[in-house]
Each structure stands twice: as structure tokens, then as C-alpha cells.
Amino acid sequence: MKGDFVLSKAHLSYWLRQLRKEFDLIAPLRSVGSDIILNSVSNIHEIALDCPANIPSPKEFIFPQKEEMFKFSDKGVDTLNDSRKRVIFGVRSCDMSAVALLDRFYGGLFEDGFYMSRRRNTFFISIACNNPDPTCFCTGLGTGPYLKSGFDIQLTDLGDRYLVQMDSKEGRSLVKNFRHLFQMPRKADYDDQYEANLSSQSKFEKRITLENVRQKILAGKVDDSFWESVALRCFECGGCVYECPLCTCFNVIDWKETPDKGVRMRLWDTCMFKGFTKMAGNILPAEKKIMRTKRWYFHKLLYYPEQFGKFGCVGCGRCTITCPGRIDMATIANKLD
């Protein structure tokens, strides 16, 4: 395709080192045990290029768990905007698809300034997925393992080189100044990409079609006894919401540092708690756990398609890893499908 490039693997670290001069470079790094986490890179060689698909979602860089919004004092109010420029290297196709949906959510009728200012300063270099995790199920949702569009830069690992594809102005800007590192692609490169994509797809253990689940719920074939059994296993940890690359709920709180000075901030919140919808006078509209579990699944399975034409799930499998009660999206879908 026009505008695509090929990057020799030997040149990757040079390119990233150049980018790090201008950006806070975030990439998957090895950590305690065999953990791989997204962290600021201090040594390019520490980047875990061969890591499995499931690394923590990059959501926190554009929608942090705790974000200060305003500083207030008797003199006035300062809006705090994060202006740090970041390149996040090594995110997966599922996460890229999630970011695209987040952009639509935080844009829209009311544009969320805090999200947008972070988003504008964050550039993603995603890697087409060649070694999916056992928990991954993006193939059934069209959110991976390879993306055709909706990324800044997508790298496809072709053995000794990467096929570099760009789908945004921001993406192209990261390559522009380093043209001498990149070569023009040949047909063989695309053939190899096609093969790699097929081989990757064949590695997926889970085949889940959420559409079947949606139809079943819409047809009223899933009764409350099913959701009751799901709710029973809910530990109310909120992990599914915190880990989900698409969950957006937040709480707003004020901290008073002195009587006339303080900060207003927002924190991730979760609809899995009964207090989430609590009204003054201790009225709890969603007191029963079943209401809250249904709410989460219905939002993702029924209302997301209504609002955005897409499921509120990208098949990343993180809820599968984090849910202590083992009642994640994949498990539910498997039971219902």
C-alpha cells in the first residue's frame, strides 16, 4: 500500500532511541516474576519484543486511574492538563481498537478536555499480534489480531524486518524525520504479512461470537437465574472494570489541602459497587449484585452496539485474567453461546 515502509529489525532500537529524545517512551518491559508491564523505557534493550499478547492495557496513559483536574485556591482555579508527550510502543491490536472507541466516547456531544489533551499527545505504535494468549478472543470481534485501519503505526513482525503501516497524520509524523531508516515495501512483504496473519489466527484457542450471545439475550432466552449464578460469584473487586480497556466510568472528588486550597480530581470508578448509583438519603437503585452484573454485561453486549455499532468488548481477555470469581466476558459468552 502507498505510504507503507519496511524497517529492518536492526534499525528498530535506533528509531526508538531517537523517539525517546522527544517523547516519554512507554513499552512492555519485564518485571517481577515473569510479569510484563507497560513502563517508561530507560534502556531500549530491555523492551520485551517477544512478549505474549496480554500486557496491561494502555488505558491508564490516556485516562489515568487518578487524574487531577483542577487546583483551586482563594485566588482562582487552574485547570491541570497533562502535556507530557508519549509514544506507547508495543500495544496490541485489541487495545488500538479500544482506543478508537474511547476517542468516540470522550469526543461526541461533549468533548472531554482532559482525555483529549492526553490523547493528542499520545502516539501509539501497535504490533500486529503473532502470539495470542490463551485468554484472547479478538478474532470473533474484528479487533485483531491484525488491523486494517484505526492505528497510528502498525508493525508486523516478518522475521528479520517489520512491515510499517500508518493510518494517521500522527503516525506518519513519527516516521517522517527518520526516512533514511525505512525502505519501500515489496510485494513479498505483503505476502509474508498475509501468511503471518493466517498463522496467527490459527493460534487462537477461543472462538467466541458475541453476536450469538446478544441475540440470545435480546430474545429473552437468558433468564435471571443465569445472572443470579454470575452475581453469586462476583467478589465486588471492580477488577473487570479497572482492567477493561473500554470502561470509562469515573468518580470526582475534592481534596482540601488547607481551608482555602485544594484539588479536584477524578478516579476510576466501577458500576460493580452498589454505592455507584447511590442517591442521597442512602437510596440504592442497584442494591442487588445481580442488577450490577447485568448492567455491566448489558452495557457491553446490548447498548454499545446501539450507540456505537460495535460491541463494548475488544476480546483482550483481561477480565479473564483478573476476575477472582471467574465470571469474565469469555466465560459468560462460552456458557451462553
Partner 1 sequence: MAGLASAFGSGAMTNSIDEIDNARVLFVIGSNTTEQHPMIGMHMLDAVDKGATLIVADPRQTQIAKFAHIHLRQKSGTDVALLNGIMNVIISEGLVDINFVKRRTENFDEFEKIVSGYSPEVAEKITGVPADEIKRVARLYATEKRAMLFYSMGITQHVTGVDNVRSCANLVMLTAHIGQPMTGLNPLRGQNNVQGACDMGALPEVYSGYQKVSDAKARRKFENAWGRKLPAKPGLTLTEMFDGALNGKIRAMFVMGENPIVSDPGATHIREAVKKLDFLVVQDIFMSDTAELADVVLPAVSFAEKEGTFTNTERRVQKLRKAIRPMYGAMPDWKIIAELSKKMGYDMGYRATHEIMEEAALLTPSYGGILHHRLDDFGLQWPCPDTNHTGTPFLHRKKFTKGLGTFNPIDFVPPAESADDEYPFILTTGRIYFRYHTATMCGRTSTLKREEPECFVEINHKDAAKLGIRNNNKVRVSSRRGEIVVNALVTDKTPEGIVFIPFHFREAAVNLITNTAVDPVAKIPEFKVCAVKIVPLLPKPGMRQTVLYDKKNDIKILLDLYEESEAEYEG
Partner 2 sequence: MTKTKTLKNHKEIYLPQKVKILDVVDMTSDVKLYKLEQPKGFFYSPGQFLMASVWGAGEVPISITSSSELHDDIELCVRKVGAVTSALHELKAGDYMGIRGPLGNGFHFEEAYGKDILFVAGGIGIAPLRSLINLVISQKKKFGEIALVYGSRNPSEVLFVPQLLDWKKEGIRTTITVDVKNAECEYCTGIVTEHLTRQKISFKTGHSYICGPHVMLKAVMRDLSLMGMSQDNIITTMEAHMKCGVGKCGHCYADGKYICTDGPVFSYSEIKQYNLLNSP
Partner 3 sequence: MEKISTICPYCGCGCGLYLHVEDNNIVGVSPLRHHPVNKGSLCVKGWNSFEFVQHPERLRYPMVKENGAFKKTSWDEVISLVAGRFSEIKEKYGPDSIALLSSAKCTNEENFVLMKFARAVLGTNNIDHCARL
Interaction site with partner 1 (CB under 8 A): 32-33, 232-233, 235-238, 251, 253, 267, 269-270, 273-275, 278-283, 324-326
Per partner kind, with CB cut-offs from 5 to 8 A, the member of partner 3, partner 2, partner 1, none near residue 72 is partner 2
| Centroid of chain to Cα 94 | 7
* Per CB under 8 A, 35 contacts partner 3: yes
Residues numbered 273 to 332 that lie near partner 3 (CB under 8 A) are 273, 321-324
- Please choose, out of 119-127, 138-146, 213-221, 238-246, the segment that lies near partner 3 by the rule CB under 8 A: 238-246
Helix (H, G, I), strand (E, B) or coil at 166: strand
Per partner kind, with CB cut-offs from 5 to 8 A, the member of partner 2, partner 3, partner 1, none near residue 178 is none
Per partner kind, with CB cut-offs from 5 to 8 A, the member of partner 1, partner 3, partner 2, none near residue 306 is partner 2
Per partner kind, with CB cut-offs from 5 to 8 A, the member of partner 3, partner 1, partner 2, none near residue 232 is partner 1
Q: Which CB, 20 or 299, lies closer to partner 2?
A: 299
Is the CB of residue 139 less than 8 Å from the CB of residue 317? Answer: no
According to CB under 8 A, which one of 6, 30, 60, 80 is a site residue for partner 3? 60
According to CB under 8 A, which one of 236, 264, 274, 278 is a site residue for partner 3? 236
Largest CA-CA distance found in the chain, in angstroms, rounded: 68
* Distance separating alpha carbons of residues 201 and 15, to the nearest angstrom: 29
C-alpha cell at 193: 504479512
- The amino acid present at 293, given as its one-letter code, is T
* Per CB under 8 A, 40 contacts partner 3: yes
According to CB under 8 A, which one of 70, 194, 255, 303 is a site residue for partner 3? 255
Alpha carbons within 13 angstroms on the beta-carbon side of residue 9 total 9
Residue 323 Cβ vs partner 1, minimum distance, rounded to whole Å: 9
Is the CB of residue 254 less than 8 Å from the CB of residue 263? Answer: yes
Torsions phi, psi of 213, nearest 5?
A: -65, -45
Helix (H, G, I), strand (E, B) or coil at 261: strand
* Distance separating alpha carbons of residues 83 and 14, to the nearest angstrom: 25
Please report where in the chains the cell 496480554 appears, as a residue: 54
Per partner kind, with CB cut-offs from 5 to 8 A, the member of partner 2, partner 1, partner 3, none near residue 67 is partner 3
* Distance separating alpha carbons of residues 281 and 19, to the nearest angstrom: 53
C-alpha cell at 257: 489541602
The count of other CB atoms within 10 Å of the CB of residue 231 is 20
Residue 293 Cβ vs partner 1, minimum distance, rounded to whole Å: 14
* Distance separating alpha carbons of residues 297 and 192, to the nearest angstrom: 38
* Per CB under 8 A, 134 contacts partner 3: no
Per partner kind, with CB cut-offs from 5 to 8 A, the member of partner 1, partner 2, partner 3, none near residue 13 is none
Residue 304 Cβ vs partner 3, minimum distance, rounded to whole Å: 23
Closest CA relative to residue 294, chosen from 247, 237, 226, 220: 226
Residues at the site binding partner 3, with contacts judged by CB under 8 A: 24, 26, 31-40, 56, 60-61, 64-67, 235-239, 242, 255-257, 262, 267, 273, 321-324
